[in-house]
Amino acid sequence: MLLPIEPEQIIDLPFVESLCWEMLVEGATNRKSAMHQAVISTAKDNRAFMRTVVLRRVDAGSKKIYLHTDNRSKKMEDINRNEHLSWLVYDQTLRAQIRLSGHAIVHHLDALCNEQWAKTGHHSRRYYMTDQPPSTELDQPSTGLNEALTAFDYSIEESESGFQHFVVVETCIDWMEWYYTHSKGNQRAGFTYSDGSLSSATWLMP
């Protein structure tokens, strides 16, 4: 578990940059981390649309972060059109907000999809097994799950039918901003990346 840092520890930009990626890795690997949930934003017709997703994977070396979603969902229309995603994570206990943005690559029915699908649990696969796509209008309150899905009455083999709807979205980060809150004063830093390598780093006026 990561501990919050004190202002005295904030010496240089490389420290802050590696701390951000450490927090993101912790977010992806520790379900109890506040950064396990992220808000992603897409753009459509000059309007931003946000929603919560689970931060599924972080490759700190190549500066890539990943989510899982249903290929039939509305967000995929935006991602396929713009090929861009913005992310927001915030952990009050770590006093840190991280904003990120970058080019989005959609993985469907490929090797990465297979790898991530293999990590999904039996019970979470049911959301990819529904006949009706996400955002279908319903005439009554409903989970959208049929009786068998509700009762987890399906085998792991049967759950493979959900794979056709499962996508992994990779974001190749080219921009990251850190915002640190403290009673002694807030601090802020910005980083840019090109092809997975750091290209600029600067302190920013909070």
Name the residues that contact ligand FMN, by CB under 6 A.
Answer: 37, 49, 51-54, 67-70, 73-75, 134-135
Neighbours of 115 (CB within 10 A): 12
Spatial neighbors of 54 by CB under 8 A, at least 6 apart, are 36, 37, 38, 67, 68
We find the least distance from the C-beta atom of residue 11 to ligand FMN, in angstroms, to be: 35
Residue 100, phi-psi category: left (phi > 0), alpha (psi -120 to 50), beta (remainder): beta
Q: Return the number of the residue (72 or 99) whose C-beta is nearest ligand FMN.
A: 72
Report the SS3 class of residue 116: helix
Q: Which is nearer to ligand FMN, 101 or 116 (CB)?
A: 116
Q: How far is the CB of 16 from ligand FMN (least distance, A)?
A: 27
Q: Which is nearer to ligand FMN, 163 or 203 (CB)?
A: 163
Q: How far is the CB of 122 from ligand FMN (least distance, A)?
A: 17
119 DSSP assignment: H
Min dist CB 183 to ligand FMN, Å, is: 30
Q: How far is the CB of 204 from ligand FMN (least distance, A)?
A: 29
In single-letter form, the type of residue at position 14 comes to P
Decide if 97 contacts 186 (C-beta within 8 A). Answer: no
Q: How far does CA 164 lie from the centroid of its chain?
A: 21
Query: Between 67 and 173, whose beta carbon lies closer to ligand FMN?
Result: 67
Cβ-based nearer residue to ligand FMN, 52 or 197:
52
